[in-house]
């Protein structure tokens, strides 16, 4: 490597001068040894001693994702890809539109270089079926779908191919956790790998039962209970409707995050909720009216009424449609 050799006491001044004149190489580290410093240069510089020595290359990580795809994709296409990233531990899942599928390997390599994660998968389907998983295709890195995701101090282990998990619900989980009171007895009817129960139990002194029909989800939930050393959290693999018949006590809070179908389980939730208990209800909708009506109708059948205490748009699912949250207090009319 061609370098300018300067006495150490002049190193800083010469470095500045060479940088200003754009003669210094920025991809190698300056070396200081005994009484001299060595500054990497692009071309010969007059007035200095030039030597040839080995220097350590610098880690030249591009400043942004766009730099890596410059010339391949338009700025708009790059921005759309970037906002589709879901980073789950060491895994990145992204959505590649049909017209860019021929460039999936270039996009995968750029994502790998930019994010420094281990596996880059593209979505091959929407989330589907009872257990709400999606098909994935590896486009760069190693095919390693098992990872540990960190969220609000919790460590969540999962296999992205076998279970549902969305990092985009992190704020929602924190919000629900912050609204919980110590001493609550909580049921998460569709708990997946247990992100709601784990985050809540790490921050509150409560009892939580999590139910999921996917045995892989319950396998990871059980592991996550151990990993996070949380107490009074129970994982049950079952259909929420079936298992509800065996519960001996009622719950102060029921979490219902199965947004496509939660309404179908509202009759069960209304029977299991304590008087003045809270249902954290989720659904896909363009607003809150439909959800509120479903809650009210289900409550009426149990001679109960509903006070809507909070509503939120959790995330956008398609233009005009949202994953919405409704927090409802359920009171008995008796």
Ligand X SMILES: C[S@@+](CC[C@H](N)C(=O)[O-])C[C@H]1O[C@@H](n2cnc3c(N)ncnc32)[C@H](O)[C@@H]1O
- Please report, as ranges, the residues that interact with ligand X according to CB under 6 A: 130-132, 164-165, 169, 190-192, 195-196, 211-214, 217, 239-240, 257-258
Which of 8, 1, 7 minimizes the C-alpha distance to 24? 1
Residue number of the CB closest to ligand X reads: 192
Question: By C-beta, is 195 or 291 nearer to ligand X?
Answer: 195
In Å, how far from its chain's centre is CA 330?
Answer: 31
> In the numeric block, which tokens belong to residue 118?
């281990």
Which of 293, 303, 242, 294 minimizes the C-alpha distance to 273? 303
Question: By C-beta, is 154 or 213 nearer to ligand X?
Answer: 213
What's the rounded Cα separation, in Å, for the pair 327 and 55?
60
Q: How far is the CB of 192 from ligand X (least distance, A)?
A: 3
Q: How far is the CB of 131 from ligand X (least distance, A)?
A: 4
What's the rounded Cα separation, in Å, for the pair 278 and 297?
16
Question: By C-beta, is 40 or 291 nearer to ligand X?
Answer: 291
Q: How far is the CB of 257 from ligand X (least distance, A)?
A: 4
Q: How far is the CB of 243 from ligand X (least distance, A)?
A: 8
Q: How far is the CB of 16 from ligand X (least distance, A)?
A: 53
Question: By C-beta, is 114 or 265 nearer to ligand X?
Answer: 265
| SS3 letters across 226-279 | HHCCCCCEEEEECCHHHHHCCCCCCEEEEEECCCCCHHHHHHHHHHHEEEEEEE
Question: By C-beta, is 14 or 278 nearer to ligand X?
Answer: 278
Question: By C-beta, is 28 or 190 nearer to ligand X?
Answer: 190
Q: How far is the CB of 258 from ligand X (least distance, A)?
A: 4
Which residues are bridge partners to 237 per DSSP?
A: 212
Helix (H) or strand (E) holding 283: strand 273-285
Query: Alpha carbon of 196 to those of 178, 211, 212, 279: distances in Å?
Result: 11, 12, 13, 14
- Residues contacting 286, CB < 8 A, separation 6+: 320, 321, 322
């Amino acid at each position: 490597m061609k370098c300018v050799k300067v006495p150490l006491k002049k190193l800083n001044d010469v470095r500045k001068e060479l940088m200003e004149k754009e003669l210094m190489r920025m991809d190698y580290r300056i070396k200081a040894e005994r009484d001299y410093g060595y500054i990497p240069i692009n071309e010969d510089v007059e007035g200095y001693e030039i030597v040839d020595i080995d220097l350590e290359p610098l880690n030249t990580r591009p400043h942004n994702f766009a730099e890596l795809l410059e010339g391949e994709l338009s700025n708009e296409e790059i921005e759309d890809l970037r906002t589709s990233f879901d980073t789950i531990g060491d895994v990145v899942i992204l959505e590649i539109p049909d017209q860019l599928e021929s460039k999936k390997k270039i996009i995968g390599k750029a994502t790998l270089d930019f994010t420094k994660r281990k596996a880059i998968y593209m979505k091959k389907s929407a989330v589907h079926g009872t257990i709400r998983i999606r098909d994935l295709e590896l486009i760069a890195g190693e095919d390693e779908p098992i990872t540990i995701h960190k969220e609000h101090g919790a460590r969540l282990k999962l296999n992205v191919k076998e279970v549902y998990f969305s990092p985009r619900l992190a704020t929602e989980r924190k919000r629900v956790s912050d609204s919980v009171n110590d001493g609550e007895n909580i049921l998460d009817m569709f708990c997946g790998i247990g992100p709601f129960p784990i985050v809540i139990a790490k921050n509150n002194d409560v009892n939580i039962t999590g139910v999921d029909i996917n045995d892989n989800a319950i396998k990871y939930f059980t592991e996550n209970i151990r990993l996070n050393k949380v107490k009074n959290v129970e994982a049950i693999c079952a259909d929420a409707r079936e298992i509800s018949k065996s519960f001996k006590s009622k719950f102060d809070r029921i979490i219902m995050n199965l947004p496509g179908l939660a309404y179908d389980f509202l009759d069960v939730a209304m029977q299991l909720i304590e008087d003045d208990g809270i249902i954290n209800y989720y659904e896909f909708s363009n607003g809150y009216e439909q959800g509120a009506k479903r809650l009210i109708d289900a409550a009426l059948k149990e001679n109960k009424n509903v006070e809507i205490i909070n509503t939120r748009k959790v995330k956008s699912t398609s233009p005009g449609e949202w994953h919405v949250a409704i927090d409802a207090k359920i009171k008995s009319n008796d």
